[in-house]
Amino acid sequence: MKSTGIMMEVAGPWAEVFEGSEGTESPGRAETLLGSSTLTLAPLVAESPSVRRSQPILITSNRVKGVQSFSSSVPSSIPNPFPELCSPSKSPVLISSLPPPSSDKHLIKVFGEDSHSRSVWVSRGATAREVCHLLVQTAHCSDQENWALLELHPTLGLERCLEDHEVVREVQATWSLKGDTRLVFCKNYAKYEFFRKPMLFFPESMISDSADVSKGMTSSQLIQNLLKSGTCPEIQGFLQVKEPSRKAWKKVYFFLRRSGLYCSTKGSSKEPRHLQYVADLDELNVYTVVNSRKLYGAPADFTFCIKPSKNPVRTQDLKILCADSEQTRTCWTSAFRLFKYGKQLQCNYQLSKSAPRSLEGTKFPDGKSKSEASLVAMDFSGKAGGRVIQNPTEAQSAEREEGQAWRRREALRCSLPNLNSAARPSSIHKTQPWFHGGVSRKEAQRLIEKQGLVDGMFLIRESQQHAQCFVLSLCSKLKTKHYLVIPCEDGGRKYFTMDDGVTLFIDLLQLVEFHQINKGILPVCLKHPCVCVAL
């Protein structure tokens, strides 16, 4: 029987097919006539290849396998072109820099002195020396010596230089998770300076009377012998100590011995009944306190503190002490380190002197780096074109002559009287690492102290009190002194002087180079430029 209407078939798996006016029904099927339309339930038959009308297609299992094979050909990990946009919030780690899950590496975040940070992967047993070497290579530092990791607690104003043999992971394990403690990569020229100049760090007035000086041995010989054996003379003297839970400071006489730190309950008496045990040196760390007057109401700026080394930093655990001079504070902190680490510091000192030669691939035997060795000196004075200068002495001489000629030309241009100040080009000193712009006197002292109070540490800054003048800040005998650099004119040209015109310099670069060789009016020659380390 044929139907003249429209037949709609619904079958399982349920599909709807609308066909034309021709359709054949099989006997025995249930039919429901609705007007001129017929609704029939029947199994879906997809075996007719002649069907060209649009209809749902059943995805077979073979097609699913095909999709899987296609997806398997795609790389499992596609490099992320914008990792900084997909990294976790406030995370210094880029997704592409993550090590494999099986890697036995630990991520540490180190800050530079410009507040920028760098994250590096190190082994879990990496020491401070190894991390410094890694950062030197990663940051392409120009030299390998005198680098250090500084443990900084900004809120409490505490900082200390990690010893070269300390494991960085173990140090970080003692930090509070909610604190702002950080590691800072910086220069520290004074880390082992007491081995070179012991009498400057251990004055005779602070050496304990119990030290054996009566066997025909001077104090200088005694100190040198003790340092070579990995120990330190007993130190004594008055220190101001902050009383717990009070703002008051009390003057107490302290003794630092191999067995620990003691204080006298009766003046400067050393009798055992008057000595009170304060701390065990093996279980504490010594920190320098920054901005101690404001944070703790200290009577002077020469403040340091001791705290348990295995506990997170808490204010109630700090024992804050204040000395009367920088030399006194340096003596106490150096003695703490020597008594605690002993011969280990002597080993660290010897390794620090040989470290630049032990780094493979960083420097060549003549002291040049890879980048410098890839350059050659050229001479273009002849008419036939340039030639390569093979003689090293001739190459160095040509380099000096070219630099001096360039500086003379620039100095002449800057000092011509017919040029106003607005037309003069920027001075060359602004590109030098020892120039720190308009930092204040206090900040200059802070920068020098941070990188080590060693003789010859210096920087140049703009004067905040005298227009167009500069200030040379120089460290000598653990003190920072400041010298005014005044501009003057002679013969229509501009010069700089520090001795009322007796010695004239065409620019600050010539002034620095001169005083690196000659002391002049300075107490010591300029030796170590105070630089700002950027990562």
pLDDT digits (tens, 9 = 90+) for 488-518: 988 878 889 999 888 888 889 989 999 998 8
The DSSP H or E segment spanning 185 is strand 182-187
Q: How far apart are CA 308 and CA 226, in angstroms?
A: 26
Q: What mean pLDDT is predicted for residues 224-235?
A: 77
The contacts of residue 216 (CB under 8 Å, 6+ apart) are none
**pLDDT for the residue numbered 69:** 44
User: Which has more pLDDT, 140 or 119?
Assistant: 119
Burial tier of 493 (Cβ tally within 10 Å: 0-12, 13-18, 19+): middle
Q: How far apart are CA 404 and CA 96, in angstroms?
A: 47
Side-chain half-sphere exposure of 127, counting CA atoms within 13 A: 7
Q: How far apart are CA 11 and CA 17, in angstroms?
A: 9
Name the CA radius of gyration of the chain, rounded: 38
The CATH number of domain 192-340, selected from 2.60.40.290, 2.30.29.30, 2.60.40.10, 3.40.50.1100: 2.30.29.30
Beta strand 15-18 with 7-11 is antiparallel
- Give the pLDDT band (50/70/90) at residue 208: confident
58: helix, coil or strand?
coil
Q: Which of 16-20, 60-64, 257-261, 393-397 has the highest mean pLDDT?
A: 257-261
CA 323 to chain centre: 29
295: helix, coil or strand?
helix
Domain residue extents for the chain: 105-187, 192-340, 428-529
Cα end-to-end span (Å), the chain: 89
Q: How far apart are CA 71 and CA 79, in angstroms?
A: 17
Domain covering 105-187, topology: Ubiquitin-like (UB roll) (3.10.20)
Q: Residue 13, preceding bond cis, omega within 30 degrees? A: yes
Check whether 117 has a pLDDT greater than 80: yes
Tokens representing residue 322 in the block: 């204040």
User: Which has more pLDDT, 258 or 2?
Assistant: 258
Check whether 318 has a pLDDT greater than 60: yes
CB–CB of 494/414 below 8 Å? yes
User: Which has more pLDDT, 208 or 191?
Assistant: 191
Q: What mean pLDDT is predicted for residues 24-39?
A: 43
User: Which has more pLDDT, 196 or 44?
Assistant: 196
Q: What mean pLDDT is predicted for residues 74-91?
A: 52
Tell me the CATH class for 428-529. alpha beta
- Give the pLDDT band (50/70/90) at residue 388: confident
pLDDT tens readout for residues 143-191: 677 899 999 999 999 999 999 999 999 999 999 888 889 999 998 998 8
Check whether 458 has a pLDDT greater than 60: yes
**pLDDT for the residue numbered 337:** 92
**pLDDT for the residue numbered 205:** 84
**pLDDT for the residue numbered 483:** 96
User: Which has more pLDDT, 500 or 18?
Assistant: 500
Identical fold, 105-187 and 192-340:
no
Angle, vertex CA 207, rays to CA 203 and CA 210, nearest 5? 160
Tokens representing residue 59 in the block: 């995805």
Check whether 394 has a pLDDT greater than 90: no
Beta strands in 309-359 (DSSP E): 319-322
